[in-house]
Amino acid sequence: MSIIPAPVSRFFHRMASPPIFYAFADKLIPWLSLIFIGLTGAGLYLGLFVAPADYQQGDSYRIIYIHVPAAWMSLFIYVLMAICGGIALIWRMKLAEVMMVSSAPIGAGFTFIALVTGSLWGKPMWGTWWVWDARLTSELILLFLYLGAISLYGAIEDRRTASRAVAILVIVGVVNIPIIHYSVQWWNTLHQGPTVAKAGKPSIHISMLIPLLLMATAFKLHYAIAVLQAAKVEILKREQNTQWVKKLIEGNS
């Protein structure tokens, strides 16, 4: 007996169909965009104008409203890619391949933002733009893993073969995720320890925490919008010779 409820199982089976997924994504993106705009506006307003200055860092701490959500997303997206990669290898599901390869450039973008904003934050706090700190170095390795996945997919002409190669790379590279997460606990690093995702009460004031969580949610919505858009393009490339794509093109022409 399956532990997944029947309606949920039927939904995912339907979404595995490229034309159904394409139509679903097309309808969902505008709604996600509206919510994203609202959350981003609220998060930035509360974070930049309502939250008080930090007693040690002053106003320079406000970069966390970009840096921290971007860093969270860099890990979140890679884990999702690894899950999609596993599904693609085991069940040969095309949509899992599409979501995996479509996520790579977005994840690389978030990782790059996390590294750049971390350097901007580190300069006034540490007195230097960069140190070979465990957290920073492992995050840089994550960026290379994303870029490697993008390059590998582009280097192999057959998309199914390329997707399987990327899936293997991503799954092997997932070992870096716990290293990034626990690096501040395993090694003596300059990077501060966890303040939100830790046991007990978060060591950040509620007036600073609320906009941070709003921005984190907005970043997740941004990823959802971006990956759906990229997946639609990837599906059209893969299904360009099918009847439903030809009808779609005729209908839009």
Structure tokens given for 107: 């994840």
Predicted local distance difference test score (pLDDT) of residue 203:
66
pLDDT at position 197 over 60: no
d(CA 119, CA 137): 12
199/120: higher pLDDT: 120
Buried-exposed string 130-162: b where 16+ CB fall within 10 A, e elsewhere: ebebbbbbbbeebbebbebbbebbeeeeebeeb
pLDDT digits (tens, 9 = 90+) for 14-43: 888 999 999 999 999 999 999 999 999 999
Q: Which of 43-52, 66-75, 116-125, 165-174 has the lowest mean pLDDT?
A: 116-125
d(CA 196, CA 202): 5
What DSSP string describes 83-150?
Answer: HHHHHHHHH--HHHHHHHHHHHHHHHHHHHHHHHHHHHHHHHHHSSS----HHHHHHHHHHHHHHHHH
SS3 177: helix
Structure tokens given for 28: 């969902």
| Its pTM surpasses 0.85 | yes
What DSSP string describes 95-110?
Answer: HHHHHHHHHHHHHHHH
Predicted local distance difference test score (pLDDT) of residue 229:
98
Predicted local distance difference test score (pLDDT) of residue 151:
98
**Of 156, 36, 148, 159, whose CA–CA distance to 96 is shortest?**
159
Reported confidence tier of residue 199, pLDDT bands at 50, 70, 90? very low
Predicted local distance difference test score (pLDDT) of residue 1:
44
pLDDT at position 200 over 60: no
Within the chain, residue ranges assigned H as helices are 6-15, 18-45, 64-91, 94-126, 134-155, 159-173, 176-186, 206-238, 243-252
**Of 15, 1, 13, 21, whose CA–CA distance to 233 is shortest?**
21
**Of 186, 182, 204, whose CA–CA distance to 195 is shortest?**
204
pLDDT digits (tens, 9 = 90+) for 216-239: 999 999 999 999 999 999 999 999
pLDDT at position 171 over 60: yes
Residue whose tokens read 């582009």? 154
Angle between helices 94-126 and 159-173 (to 10 degrees): 40
Mean pLDDT of 170-196: 78
